[in-house]
Amino acid sequence: MYIASILTSPDTPVLEPALVESLRNAWGGGDAQWLMPDVAAEFALASLPDNLDAVWSDLQGLKLDLLVHPSAGRRKRLLLADMDSTMIQQECIDELADVAGVGAQVAGITAGAMNGEIAFEGALRERVGLLKGLSSTVIDTVLAERITYMPGGKTLLSTMKAHGGYAALVSGGFTAFTAPVAAHLGFDEHRSNQFVITDGELTGDVHPPIFGKEAKVEALDDLTARLGLSDADVLAVGDGANDLGMLTRAGMGVALHAKPSVQAQAQFRVNHGDLTALLFLQGYSAEEFST
């Protein structure tokens, strides 16, 4: 059995009951269940529809996300989440680079790495090298003035943890950012890279080893073993090419507002909903959300 989930952004609630009923009838689905009025609905299916891709494309034009996923084991016990452009709305290293006067150059490298066009480790070292000599106090300034959180993040964490979940922030960024972000959102732990800082300045180096795509998969392996879970118990979310390893391994891997190459390879795509979409996919209604 499968579940067809139709979602949109809570900020622009455009999901109409007539559309849900039309799709349910066309696919011979079960009764529609509304998880949040005008935002999220679902119905059961006996099999995968033949025209799923075409319908998905049509709904994208209406600012709606469509995901068809197995009904069994929906509620996950481990959340693995990327940070930049996933739990927060920025790329931290790009913001540092902008302050340092090399914003355009670093942003271009970041875009290439996140879309899988440039190897992650080399791209990270190149970008950090361009920050050599930057005062470490700029990190606090960027955190205070430039970083904003993706809508729904606290609700996602609070709700999953209220139901016994464990949450880990796994980022190809830096602990100088993951530590405060994890604390603010309520993650149980965080893993990331570390700047080398000497005499209050970034040296342009990164402490080895680089925390990249393989390290995120290793985190999945480590955490599932420690918690006595399986891959099927994992919900992973990210937007970049370095997230694909954990996205394809997890029982539910969601590409959130992701780069084109990532969307092409990910199990599930959310382009219009916010982080509460990950709760709707697990069958939580808005009334069950914790804050």
Q: Is there a catalytic annotation at residue 233?
A: no
Q: Is the peptide bond before 260 cis (omega within 30 degrees of 0)?
A: no
In this structure, are residues 48 and 142 in contact, taking their beta carbons and an 8 Å threshold? no
- The C-alpha angle 225, 124, 223, rounded to 5 degrees, equals 10
Q: Is there a catalytic annotation at residue 50?
A: no
Active-site hit among 50, 58, 84, 140: 84
Residue 181: C-alpha distances to residues 52, 81, 275 (Å) = 37, 12, 15
In the numeric block, which tokens belong to residue 32?
């529609």
Percent helix, strand and coil across the chain, each to the nearest 5: 40, 25, 35
What b/e string do you get for 4-17 counting C-beta neighbours within 10 Å, with b at 16 or more? Answer: bbbbbbbeeeebee
Active-site hit among 82, 233, 239, 274: 82
The residues annotated with a catalytic role in the active site are 82, 84
